[in-house]
Chain A
Amino acid sequence: SAVISQKPSRDICQRGTSLTIQCQVDSQVTMMFWYRQQPGQSLTLIATANQGSEATYESGFVIDKFPISRPNLTFSTLTVSNLSPEDSSIYLCSFSGVGTEAFFGQGTRLTVV
């Protein structure tokens, strides 16, 4: 099965700073997805990242706060900018191949202090 690696696994950040999360897939995929999972909650899609084009953001999420890069078909980053305690959450990257299930990274647990 495909391997998807996400890092860091956790971080504690100061208010007002930014955190960049990296996601690496061991095969080429067209789209990658970034989700947020607040404590005890479900997964909410932040944006869809296509290689070579700007990410598509869901309602309530904006590029200035969550800039995304997708430089090639195996890699993507999500930055959470200008951190506040409300950003404390788990962030997960995901992809799915044709005819296969969606795979998730192991998640990044962000705590903002």
Chain B
Amino acid sequence: GENVEQHPSTLSVQEGDSAVIKCTYSDSASNYFPWYKQELGKRPQLIIDIRSNVGEKKDQRIAVTLNKTAKHFSLHITETQPEDSAVYFCAASKSWAGANSKLTFGKGITLSVRP
């Protein structure tokens, strides 16, 4: 089955700096890669996703890049703010649209943004 590795496990940055979180996946059939943010005591919320037909996607301060050959994808957060502090999970799925297909999650990274 799919295996998603996420690293590092913790990341601390100064407010205003950039943060990069990397994930690798094992199954070349995976074609949908979402990123979730989970604040303490709350449910995971999608922040950005990418499908295998594109190499990069950006939404304001957040961007995701995908390298299908190397089977890795990364989350980039620019101009970090204290409210970006949370646990971030990457995931992979074999469903193009993410529908009706299970997600395999990475272990998560705790991002701390120092004011």
Contact = CB atoms under 8 A, between A and B. Distances in A.
Main secondary structure of the interface of B (DSSP, over half): loop
B20 interface: no
B105 interface: yes
Given A31-B100, A41-B107, A102-B98, A107 B43 contact: yes
Nearest to B46: A101
Interface size class, chain A: 20 to 34
Contacts, number: 54
Interface residues of B, number: 21
B43 A105 contact: yes
A79 B108 CA distance: 26
B98 A106 contact: no
Interface string B77-101: 0000000000001000000011111
Interface of B: 1, 34, 42-46, 49, 89, 97-108
